[in-house]
Homo-oligomer: A and B are copies of this chain.
Amino acid sequence: MTIRNTQGLTVWFTGLSGAGKTTLSQALEKLLMARGYRVEPLDGDVVRQHLSKGLGYSKADRDENIRRIGFVAELLTRHGVVALVSAISPYREIRDEVRRKIGAFLEIYVNAPLEVCEQRDQKGLYQRARAGEIKGFTGIDDPYQPPLAPEVECRTDLETVEESVAKVWREVEAKLAGG
């Protein structure tokens, strides 16, 4: 297949654990790959293993981790790749910092109420956080600052995955077309 030679883009999925960031990112990845775009998923947990061993979950460490993901996303974006970042990235200021550095950037607020995320609890993390086995868990005993003006908000408790992805796709397509 022909690989398109386009400007790159960072699509940044932010939201609580269990909100559906990875699900949406993976669906978008398929769409993009089918259309010949260069795509690279950057999952917060995976990148953490590669770039942030030794960092914890204090605000300073979370910020540093997000900066590193942003550094990699910027490099990829500059070289024509669509970087799909899924990371809780709970702090507004550092998300805005990364946005400024990258430029070609879409912020996708993957929004489901805490109760819904907690009910899903795919990884059993909320249960462990409630039991006090995990400290500083976003939404439980650590803050999440929602985006004030995300390009897209997906209410994953009210919309189907297809509906959410369609909303994201419209913005991505416009951006890649030079919008």
Distance in angstroms between the alpha carbons of A81 and B75 in the assembled complex: 10
Name 18 extra pairs, CB < 8 A, besides A50-B67, A72-B75.
Answer: A3-B5, A3-B80, A38-B79, A38-B80, A40-B75, A40-B78, A40-B79, A50-B68, A51-B51, A51-B71, A54-B54, A54-B55, A72-B72, A75-B75, A75-B76, A76-B79, A79-B79, A79-B81
- Complex: how many Å from CA A75 to CA B82? 12
CA distance in complex: A80, B38 (Å): 10
Name the residue of chain B whose CB is nearest to the CB of A68. B51
Name A residues whose Cβ lies closer than 8 Å to a Cβ of B.
3, 5, 38, 40, 50-51, 53-55, 64, 67-68, 71-72, 75-76, 78-81
Q: When chains A and B are docked, how far (Å) is the Cα of A67 from the Cα of B53?
A: 11
CB-defined contacts of A72 to chain B, threshold 8 Å: 72, 75
CB–CB A71/B50 < 8 A:
yes
- Please give, as numbers and ranges, the residues of chain B lying within 8 Å of A3 by CB-CB distance: 5, 80
Best-buried of A64, A71, A75, A78 by chain B (most CB within 10 Å): A75
